Structure 1
């Protein structure tokens, strides 16, 4: 089992490892990641091969360990994965102009943006989350990971995220029993077929342009991907069912908002617009609810 020397890093004041990396994990149990005994374990397919990264707090430091052929690559990026490269310069000053944001920025200052540097695992999750409930999407994600089922290196039993080449070579009807209809499956297969080109994108803007050029992938999906892959704190999930209402309610006292109104209200926070949206979510801010919830459907029985 390949393992390299651990890396020790100094996190910022009030840094919260668990809440920072939580966005890298699918709720309800992620076959590719786990938090146990204060350690975060994350399996990945790196450019150097498969690997598993572990992050833990120890005597004021953040310690990174890694296993597998991709161990060196993961340790080199451990600070970014842990959110230590997230640049929050100027945000507290921007947030101070709004009482709610000022409070939330102080209360949740320990949360930072991870930047994994790997795109396809986030594409997989974001495509599955299109236009369905989180419960449906997360069930499909777990089923797909287990279907491809390759064990990750390291002492903890995790699975690697699916190989894009294997996904691209899989007939679309294979995904049907996992609760994924043809539209989302075809979007996923298209992305898997060009995953290598997407991975070569140098920054968030280039990746966004490449992603939205694919049928079935729009601004919402692209923003969900680049927020985690590049740690893009400005990425706004345009087209979300809830976020425009939340932003309009929190920043202007308006119970309903459009994408256009949301972007207008977020403009003063450019550079951190996505961070504002995530702070509102972390603070439990929601707009008044009207109407029924989205039903949970099962495509597998059709």
Structure 2
């Protein structure tokens, strides 16, 4: 059951500055898993985010405070630890120099969104579990599974976080969740086993943030149930890898094709077409998706079915 860790102590109140302009809403958007994610919410020009540090849970409210930073309020025992990571969260390590796209769609998106940075959380398991939940299923179903599991097993967020926010479970909780609880959350046995297996290796996985991103992805892919797509999704968020391309995504190659070429591509075609954009392929994807890439895909053909594994 969820455990309350709310505290009455005043928050840490600080301002964080980063080397380049940053738009905190667009920068942190990839960390939110659906509109009702219990671990992250948008509130106007502010973002509420809860996380689990080694020192304990923490709630953070980030509000745009000038072109190159944010005002941050932090509650909970993990506050001081997160304080040191806030610049990375706001893209302090992200270096877009050398990214000069020639395609007019990308060039215009880059011109309109110069402050969209690539975040780096430094939390592997926190990015890995929802990525596993999103394997081979409709996003709506994956978001619902994430929400149910966090509501059932996460801690209540410290401080005055919006109602319903939960701190993601730690590895010790993920690896003890019974199979029937995953079943109730509409998670099939294969994905459930992968989550439990990764939670058992959590200490080793968290050390991957210190590796070269390419090596870290290779090590992630060595785990049963973690493929190219899942490793890239983790690298984008936990490592801040601006080149991590989500090959194998159900929609992405089609979106890339229609956005940049006016017709569909398969994965191989997408990889080949985006090759000249290394080491900024994920940055390019973020830009044309944020600029309306999905709206350029013709609405025809079958959609991904929302599968209910609880019926089996």
Q: Same fold (TM over 0.5)?
A: yes
* 126-135 vs 79-88, which moves further: 79-88
The residue that corresponds to 1:171 in the other structure is 178
User: Structure 1: how far apart are the matches of 2:173 and 2:191?
Assistant: 17
Answer whether contact 2:85 2:121 (CA < 8 A) is retained: yes
Q: Identify the match of residue 78 of structure 1 among 80, 86, 91.
A: 86
Asked whether the 8 Å contact 2:12–2:79 carries over to 1, the reply is no
Q: Hey, what does 1:295 align to over in structure 2?
A: 305
What does residue 127 of structure 1 align with? Answer: 132
Superposed CA RMSD: 2.0
For residues 218-258 of structure 1, the C-alpha deviation after alignment (integer angstroms, 9 at most, x for no partner) is: 010011111011111100001111112222333344x2322
SS of structure 2 residue aligned to 1:237: coil
| Runs of 4 or more above 6 Å deviation | none
Structure 2 alignment gaps of length 5 or more: 1-6
In 2: Cα distance, 1:276 partner to 1:103 partner: 11
Distance of 1:75 and 1:217 partners within structure 2: 31
CA distance in 1, matches of 2:217, 2:303: 30
1:172–1:11 CA distance, 2 compared to 1 (3 A): same
- Return the offset for 1:123: 0.8
TM-score using structure 2 length: 0.89
What is the count of residue pairs matched by the alignment?
298
Cα 1:206–1:48 shift into 2, 3 Å: farther
The answer as to whether partners of 1:86 and 1:231 remain within 8 angstroms in 2 is yes
SS, match of residue 20 in structure 1: helix
Contact 1:65 1:75 in 2 (8 A): no
CA distance in 1, matches of 2:129, 2:276: 32
Query: How far did residue 37 of structure 1 move?
Result: 5.4
Whole-Å Cα distance in 1 between the matches of residues 215 and 49 of structure 2?
Answer: 26
Secondary structure at the counterpart of residue 199 of structure 2? helix
2:237 — aligned with what?
A: 228
Check conservation: 1:248, 1:265, Cα contact below 8 A. no
* TM-score scaled by length of structure 1: 0.91
Asked if structure 1 preserves the Cα contact closer than 8 Å seen for 2:22 and 2:91, the reply is no
